[in-house]
Amino acid sequence: MRYYIIAGERSGDLHGSNLVKSLSRLQPEAVFRGFGGDEMQHAGVELVMHYNQLAFMGFEAVLNFFKIARYMADCKKDILQFKPDALILIDYGGFNRRIASFGKANGIKVHYYIPPKVWAWRQNRAWQLKKSVDHMYVILPFEKEFFKKYSFDVDYVGNPVLDAIRSFKSTNLFLEQHNLKLQQPLVALLPGSRTRELQKIVPIMAAVAKAQPTFHFVVAAIHNLSPELYKPLTGLANVTFVYDATYDLLKHASAAIVTSGTATLETALFKVPQVVVYKAGYLEYLIAAQVVKVKFISLVNLIAGKEVVKELIQGNASPEQIENELTKLIEPGNYRESMKSAYEQLYTTLDIGSASDNTAQLIVKYQDNH
């Protein structure tokens, strides 16, 4: 079996590598080629292009339109030369939706693992996915119901974030290495991974840290971001930075302040009480408010279908409101325990085995039936 697999981002590379490992166990003779990163390459994919060359966000993608168009053309040409039995697309909606249509037009079976979040905005794109994708594997339970509205029967395979947390092995020396003591509450600060997010959120987090000298705040920082972005938090006596060790941090945290995104789900699966914060530019927020079709912004609340964690958005993402919520999260009592109890239910909802193994088994089954 010959598979052409495409992931255009860091997370897709990780999930892609785990899927390739699962497929290789089921089909030791399988051959993999495609676009991805180091993890996929280590798993046995012959890499045509690294996702580093594809990582354009928002307006940056518009500025690099011709470069992306050239990569798209190269990708299509390479697919035809490789002659795969199937295409496996992972997330990376703007690029992969077009490749899906190309695959369909050329008689190649198209499997989409972790599809674009069309349920959040531009929902009509669900029709395009139905038309161009043979089999789709979703990682959020409510997505299966969403696609039913478009007469598209998709498979819910579980969530790869849960897989990643299950396979995580913590270092026993984390607290000692970073000179952290548990005598005072440890608050994890997860400001996100995008420049614009940090520009808005880091100054607010710094104000909260200054207002709460009895708490110790630990920033989950990322090496490949400019140190300038973290500047408001540097030099504060009750703030420590840890780099590329988010899971170790969450394992020891009493509570967390989290910028919306996958990190909200990771924090919940580590059973850390959290407050979710989000702040965008005024115009950006106005546009988002018009197009976003969901009631919540955090994956925790979206999966639960109700407010489990407090979301402080835009004007409500003030140091005072965050500080007030943080105090409630740290104090022992019903508020803290009810959130942790809701997390248990969330874990049960997502716990249907390994997402990678489930997806691999379905891909093999569907390919055998074609």
Please give the tally of structural domains in the chain.
Answer: 2
Same domain, 49 and 121: yes
Half-sphere exposure of 111 (CA within 13 A, CB side): 23
Cα(325)–Cα(208) distance, integer angstroms: 11
CB atoms within 10 A of CB 74: 13
DSSP symbols for 76-135:
HHHHHHH--SEEEEES-HHHHHHHHHHHHHTT-EEEEES---TTTS-TTHHHHHHHH-SE
In Å, the largest CA–CA distance within the chain is 63
Residue 143 resides in a domain: yes
Same domain for 343 and 360, yes or no, is no
Assess whether pLDDT exceeds 70 at residue 142. Answer: yes
The stretch 218-224 carries a mean pLDDT of 91
The pLDDT of residue 35 is: 94
Is 278 among the domain residues? Answer: yes
**Judgement on whether residues 295 and 332 belong to the same structural domain of the protein:** yes
* Full residue range of the structural domain in which residue 47 is found: 2-158+353-369
pLDDT the model gives residue 282: 57
Average of per-residue pLDDT across 201-217:
96
- Gyration radius from the chain CA atoms: 21
State the average pLDDT over residues 62-72: 68
Looking at the structure, tell me whether residues 9 and 153 fall in a common domain: yes
What would the DSSP string read from start to end of 222-234? Answer: -TTS-GGGGGGGT
Q: Are residues 18 and 150 in the same domain?
A: yes
Residue 56: the pLDDT is 46
What is the per-residue pLDDT for 59? 44
Question: Are 344 and 361 found together in one domain?
Answer: no
- Quote the pLDDT of residue 55: 54
Q: Kindly state whether residues 151 and 192 are assigned to the same domain.
A: no
Domain membership of residue 169 (yes or no) is: no
Average the pLDDT over 101-125 and give the result. 89
pLDDT in tens, 285-300: 555 555 555 688 899 9
Tell me, yes or no, whether 41 lies in a domain.
Answer: yes
Same domain, 61 and 144: yes
Summarize the confidence of residues 2-27 as an average pLDDT: 93
Q: Residue 51: what pLDDT?
A: 83
- Per the domain annotation, does 164 fall within a domain? no
- Regarding whether 359 and 234 lie in a shared domain, the answer is no
State residue 287's pLDDT score: 52
Q: What is the pLDDT of residue 221?
A: 94
Instruction: Say if residues 138 and 155 touch (Cβ distance below 8 Å).
Output: yes
CATH number of residue 254's parent domain: 3.40.50.2000
Whole-number pLDDT of residue 289: 56
Q: Which of 214, 178, 197 is nearest to 323 (CA)?
A: 214
For 334-362, write each residue's pLDDT tens digit: 999 999 999 999 999 999 999 999 999 99
Residue-wise pLDDT for 259-286, tens only, equals: 978 899 999 999 999 999 988 765 555 5
Question: In terms of domains, do 205 and 306 share one?
Answer: yes
- Specify if 166 maps to a domain: no
Res 293: pLDDT: 58
Mean predicted confidence (pLDDT) in 119-126: 77
Q: Is residue 321 located within the same domain as residue 346?
A: yes
Whether 167 maps to a domain, the answer reads: no
Token pair listed for 268:
């919940």
Residues 6+ apart with CB under 8 A from 14: 39, 160, 164
Of 194, 328, 213, 327, the C-alpha closest to 261 is 194
On whether residue 254 sits in a domain, the answer given is: yes
69 with 40: CB under 8 angstroms? no
- DSSP conformation letters of 326-358: HHHHHSSSHHHHHHHHHHHHHHHHH-SS-HHHH
One domain, residues 323 and 186: yes
Q: Contact 296/262 with Cβ under 8 angstroms?
A: no
| Mean pLDDT (the chain, rounded) | 90
